[in-house]
Structure 1
Amino acid sequence: MSHTTYQQGMRIDWDVPITMDDGLVLRADVFRPQEEGKYPVLMTYGPYAKGLAFQTGYPSAWNKMVSEHPDVPHGSSNIHQNWEVVDPEKWVPEGYICIRVDSRGTGRSPGYVDHFSPRETKDYYECIEWAGQQDWSTGKVGLSGVSYFGINQWHVASLQPPHLAAMCVWEGSADWYRDMTHHGGILSTFWANWYDMQVRTVQHGLGARGGRSPTSGMLICGDEMLSDAQLAANRCDFGDEILAHPLDDKYHKERSPDWDKVTVPFLSAANWGGQGLHPRGNFEAYMRAASEHKWLEAHGLEHWTHFYTDYGRELQLQFFNCFLKGEDNGWANRKRVQLQMRHPDKFEERFAEDWPLPETDWQKLYLQPAAQILAERPPSQAAETDFDALGDGLTFVTEPLEQQTAIAGPMSARLRVSSTTEDADIFLVVRVFTPDLREVVFAGAIDPHTPVAQGWLRASHRKLDPVLSRPYRPYHTHDEVQPLEPGVPVDLDVEIWPTSIVIPKGYRLALSVRGKDYIWQASTGARLSNFKNELLGCGPFLHDDPRDRPENVFGGTTTLHLDPNNPSFLMVPVIAEGAP
């Protein structure tokens, strides 16, 4: 049953019931100022269990963050810290009510677990409308949070809840097919593994097996104790459901936003190193959402870090103060794009009027067969070069750069390929090397050794959407399979997710064309407590399910056809360093 305590200068209403239209009751914790009055709301809705402390559920991530960024724990007791949601001790004193809702079937909310489904999105809508009509609410509800708590913001915004006034989507992908489950049509195994590690462990019905919250005193996963069979019956078979939908069909479209209906003001915050999950959605949202008031920010470091640092928190606060409190604080007049540009050893802040940056010089670097180089001119003679279709592939490298070169934006590649089988998977990796040919890698959202950029395409999914495609961002329909005829070349336009890097003079830019996931090195020892695999360069965002990539279809030989009359190239977004 719900109850109230007073802690850290806040009134906390634990386990507040919110009844859905089908009669199911979700449970929420409400953190609000002790002083009576009406306040704007910051809400999150998700599956990670509101009673599970960040430090308990994700100890390796927490310990790394607070040791390297002391501003995160400073000024808070940190006993109310939860994974990927705001710390109420830092937001309630600013005049906000913070609400955490356990999504259907997780934590203390009963029901059937079906992630990002229309039912979940409808639940979120109803939670927003409930919060907007409470006596303590001003009627303005903002949405906040990282990852899952960002993804579902795009979805619920498509339903246009009347009380939804602003969103901050911090590293939140959007398109269930292109961003999350199938990269270029190739199945990502991330979600099946994530489900096992981060959702089943906090499913409603675990009872005492799920542990007890030290702050509320309640069992984290509900009071009832269900059998393993009952628990299994109360959740979807997530990995196999995704596998069963290899094309962008109704299943995926129901779990993706309708950009024409996303009209609420928002701040979209991307992570350059989030390849394999989030950054694409943050950039696509900025480019395609109908909102008149929208801003884009891009940063580096780990997936969760800057959401909690003073840099990120103060950015969010200024945004929400503008749209939830109506403060004339300068936010509405700021430039729409704020980038933390990556250098090999630092970040440098840059502001711009739009994305892609208006001053972008789209340059083509051509794949040359001789010595496998990237050059400013196409090859003079036609040539073919092969690689094992499931192997490490080929790498094309520029000559040492004659001057420092800044890159920021989406990228693409045009390749002409054939296969000895009826299909081929292409993995592209944009890389930078020092003058002595050591690779420059970055602390990514998850993996500590992330390359500059990545892109993927299954050759049989090469069909383009002529309306949404741009030279710098091809957009594939993924609505039919077009098998290859063995030995017959086809043209592939491959999307490479947005990136930034300032490459020093004398360094080299490279493009690897592979038949499998990038590997920085064979063993790193890098692991996080909430992921199964060792982090070798792609984090947990792998494409290694043999059911999706059977060897008889994808295990042949792939040939690159390098033709001066139809050249293969990498399109690079070069920007002037002195531009605003």
Structure 2
Amino acid sequence: MKTAMLRRFTLAAVLVLGACGGGGGGAPGAGSDAKWFTYERAEDYPGVAQIGGLKITMADGIELSASVALPADADGNPAEGPFPVILTQTGYNKSIPAIPASNDYLVKRGYAHLSVDVRGTGLSQGQWEAFGETEQADYLAVIDWASKQAWSNGSVGTWGASFMAITQLYTAAHQHPAHKAVFAIVPMADGYRDIVFSGGQTNIGFIPLWMGLVTALGVLPVEPDPVAPVTMLEHLSSALLNFQVPVILQSALGVGGYNYDGEFWRTRSPIEQADRIRIPTFIVGGLNDIFQRGEPLLYEAISRNTTTKLLIGPWQHLDGASGAGLPRDGVPPLNNLALMWFDQYLRGLDVGAASVPNVTQYYYGAERYATTTDWPHPQARAERWYLRGDGALSREPPAAGEGGRVVLQQPANGICSTSTSQWTAGLLGLVPLPCFDSNNLNENPLFEITYSTEPMAEDYVVNGPIQADLHISTTALDAGVLVRVTEVSPDGNSRELTNGILTASLRQVDPARSRYLDGQMIQPWHPFTEASREPVGMNTIVHLPVEVFPSSFVIKQGYRLRVTVGASDFPHGLPPVVDLVDQLVGVMTVHSDAEHPSSIVVPVVPRSALPAD
């Protein structure tokens, strides 16, 4: 037990702190009767031969470090190729044994697996700039090189989790003819909105740890290399002077332009290039992953042009990377899914990959997986619930003169919550604290006010993005707003399902990029630019459309749906210093009257959309 926990913790430190269909508009996909099946075949080879020390030279002379795992006999002698190739490009140092940069399960079934340290990481030369333009150009050079090696048959698929999933999407956008399939596990979509500055606030729970991890792994000499000391020194000096430390400090302070969305973050957002992906793509996500927001958006964008599948499990980032708990409800383990995907699209075998369900999601509350034909759910309809002055959550709008409720503005609410576990990628969740599974501790009325329905008369099923429309005022100059959605069991336990945060002065919405359902905005798109900032002012009532990240859950009969509103969600969000001074001391009022009806709109689907228990 202790050994397993230690291994899981080590994997967390490496994978977790490291990062982020077939159906939809025009691509062929599976119908409503699609079913899961487990695809398996025996090993073709009993062994794996690891060949290290490979160098791939980029256009500017920088050398990337690479290694390849080849099918082998029982003594480790490489088999005669060529083979279809699986490519993984990583920032976590492929030479560290704990990092899953190569998949022996696939290699033993006849694939060569090439692992490459991206520029400025691991044993590769150069300076790291986190998915910048130069690094993205390298991805194209690497896949071209991979397609021409003696052990390669010219067909390349990409595989991996987190950082290694993000690199796949950029690689696919290059449209290299050798690239045939993508299997992206817990990838990021929008660098700004998904993870770094959700709601316009700095994510200090994940980003410093991630950049610190990439830096630390880039100075470990784990493989003999005569130029390794020079490379390690280059990595360290770049981190301290050029990228990691300057970006973190300037983001925290709110200077240098990093705290606003712009070209820097758009370059580092795969969703901006998703419409260029034309090869079959499998996306794995998690209901509480750090990239919870973006994974279904990637599916939606890519599925317009190619066969695409989406699997979302009950996972935070660490468990999502491994597909923890599978097989379950007919959904196979991730290795079986990857084998099916690559056998179909790299080997050209007719194994039925296109016929599996387009979208498979876990539902909290029902505690099971269910399938559908697309995302957003085709049967979803918008339903609005009003936050009432007496703490009720009601379908009835508030009356004239109905009172508001107040909450103190302080920056450290939620320090022990499901959100904290999520935004440290599941790492802190390994510590068995009750507050990671229950939100009751945070629902102190001074810091987080609650609005609850009556017990549900029947199961209430929600699937998709959620929007809170709040009318607030503050005695400060600005405010940060947290909205949590929870389920409340008959014994009173409040379990967080999803949440959203927003800086009030960054509330402006671009209607053209926002999502609507039944004529109601249900997923606001905020520009988060300096030009879009709108003053709040003291004691002035303003309307905040808060994006609450998409989820799928059932509020069971006898349970209650609850919405909580607070002024902070630390460490998920902390305003940059220039904003924090305007929010730090104050009292925020959530208004609930006929003229200022605060509410939440949710996408409801029929109970029949889920399998019968």
TM norm. shorter chain > 0.5: yes
Q: Which residue of 2 aligns with 1:147?
A: 162
8 Å contact kept, 1:24–1:110: yes
1:339 partner letter = Q
Change (3 A) 1:192 1:573: closer
Scaled by the length of structure 1, the TM-score of the pair is: 0.81
Q: Which moved more, 1:109-118 or 1:413-422?
A: 413-422
CA distance in 2, matches of 1:115, 1:569: 38
More off after superposition, 32-41 vs 475-484: 32-41
Match of 2:297 among 269, 284, 306: 284
Three-state SS of the structure 2 residue aligned to 1:396 is strand
* Aligned 1:69-84 pairs, distance under 5 A: 82-83=99-100
Q: What does 1:106-255 correspond to in 2, within 5 Å?
A: 106-195=121-210, 197-203=212-218, 206=219, 210=220, 212=222, 226=233, 232-233=240-241, 235-237=243-245, 238-243=247-252, 244=256, 245-255=258-268
CA positional deviation for 1:431: 0.9
Give per-residue Cα distances to partners, 1:107-166, cap 9 Å, x unaligned: 111111211111111112211121122232232221211111112323333333332221
* 1:542 CA drift (Å): 2.4
Partner of 1:533: none
Could you give the per-residue CA deviations for residues 75-109 of structure 1, whole angstroms, max 9, x where no partner exists? xxxxxxx24x44x3211112211111111122111
**Correspondence list, 1:34-53, <5 A:** 34-53=78-97
What displacement does 1:222 show? 5.8
Does residue 300 (structure 1) correspond to residue 350 (structure 2)? The answer is no
Distance 2:232 2:339 in 1: 40
Alignment of 1:74-473 (within 5 A): 82-83=99-100, 85-86=101-102, 88-195=103-210, 197-203=212-218, 206=219, 210=220, 212=222, 226=233, 232-233=240-241, 235-237=243-245, 238-243=247-252, 244=256, 245-257=258-270, 258-274=273-289, 277-289=290-302, 290-305=304-319, 307-308=321-322, 311-343=333-365, 347-370=367-390, 372-382=391-401, 383-390=403-410, 392-440=447-495, 451-470=496-515, 471-473=521-523
- Structure 2 SS opposite 1:153: helix
- 1:117 and 1:429 map into 2 onto residues whose CA distance is 33
Contact map agreement 2:191 2:268 (CA 8 A) in 1 = yes
- The Cα offsets for residues 501-552 of structure 1, whole Å up to 9 and x where unpaired, read as 222221111111111117xxxxxxxxxxxxxxxxxxxxxx522366254234
Give the conservation status (yes or no) of the 8 Å contact 2:469–2:600.
Answer: yes
CA–CA separation in structure 2 for the residues paired with 1:19 and 1:221: 16
Contact 1:167 1:265 survives alignment (8 Å): yes
CA displacement 1:362-405 (0-9 Å, x = unmatched): 211110102x1111111123333222122623111111111222
Structure showing greater relative contact order (alpha-carbon pairs closer than 8 Å, 6 or more residues apart): 2
* Residues 467 and 31 of structure 1: CA distance in aligned 2, closer, same or farther (over 3 Å): same
Q: Distance in 2 between matches of 1:423 and 1:545?
A: 11
Amino acid at match of 2:94: K
State the Cα distance separating 1:453 from its structure 2 match.
Answer: 0.2
Partner residue of 2:589? 559
Tell me, yes or no, if the aligned pair for 1:147 and 1:278 is still in contact at 8 Å.
Answer: no
Aligned to 1:534: none
- Distance 1:308-1:436 versus aligned 2 partners, 3 A rule: closer
- Separation of aligned partners in 1, 2:129 and 2:200: 22
Is the Cα contact below 8 Å between 1:191 and 1:239 reproduced in 2?
no
- Give the C-alpha shift of residue 281 in structure 1: 1.5
Q: Is the CA contact 1:50–1:220 (under 8 Å) kept in the aligned structure 2?
A: no
In the aligned structure 1, how far is the partner of 2:581 from the partner of 2:544? 21
Residue 177 of structure 1: how far off its partner (Å):
0.8
Counterpart for residue 60 of structure 2: 22
Q: Aligned partners of 1:307, 1:14: CA distance in 2, in Å?
A: 25
Letter in 2 for 1:337: V
Structure 1 residue 279 displacement after superposition? 1.6
Partner of 2:561: 509
Contact 1:146 1:304 in 2 (8 A): no
Q: 1:149 to 1:40 in 2, by over 3 A?
A: same
Cα pair distance change 1:171/1:388, threshold 3 Å: same
Question: What is the aligned partner in structure 1 of residue 42 from structure 2?
Answer: none
Q: 1:133 to 1:225 in 2, by over 3 A?
A: closer
Partner secondary structure for residue 609 of structure 2: coil
Which amino acid in structure 1 is aligned with residue 70 of structure 2?
Answer: R
SS of the residue 1:399 aligns to: coil
* Contact 1:297–1:337 (8 Å) recurs in 2: yes
Name which of structure 1's ranges 360-369 and 480-489 shifts more when overlaid on structure 2: 480-489
Aligned equivalents of 1:242 and 1:159: distance in 2?
Answer: 30
Equivalent of residue 547 in structure 1, options 551, 570, 577: 577
Match of 2:47 in 1: 9
Greater shift, 177-186 or 129-138, is seen at: 129-138
Contact 1:111 1:234 in 2 (8 A): no
Q: Distance in 2 between matches of 1:154 and 1:473?
A: 24
- Given that residues 453 and 499 in structure 1 are in contact (C-alpha distance below 8 angstroms), is that contact kept between their aligned partners in structure 2? yes
Once residues 231 and 464 of structure 2 are traced to their aligned partners in structure 1, the CA distance between those partners, rounded to angstroms, is 50
Contact 2:123 2:231 (C-alpha < 8 Å) held by counterparts: no
Pick aligned residue for 1:486 from 538, 543, 551: 538
One-letter amino acid matched to 1:460: S
* Distance in 1 between residues matched to 2:155 and 2:560, nearest whole Å: 50
Distance 1:103 1:36 in 2: 28
CA distance in 1, matches of 2:292, 2:554: 19
RMSD: 2.5
Displacement, 1:239? Answer: 1.0
CA contact (8 A) 1:113 1:234 kept: no
- Cα pair 2:475 2:586 within 8 Å, conserved: yes
TM-score if structure 2 supplies the norm length?
0.76
Q: What is the CA–CA distance in structure 1 between the aligned matches of 2:292 and 2:226, rounded to whole Å?
A: 35
- Between the aligned partners of 2:522 and 2:277, the Cα distance in structure 1 is 24
**Aligned-partner Cα distance in 1 for 2:154–2:299:** 26
Contact 1:389 1:424 in 2 (8 A): yes
Deviation of residue 52 (structure 1)?
1.1
For the 8 Å contact 2:409–2:583, the answer to whether it is kept is no
The match for 2:5 is: none
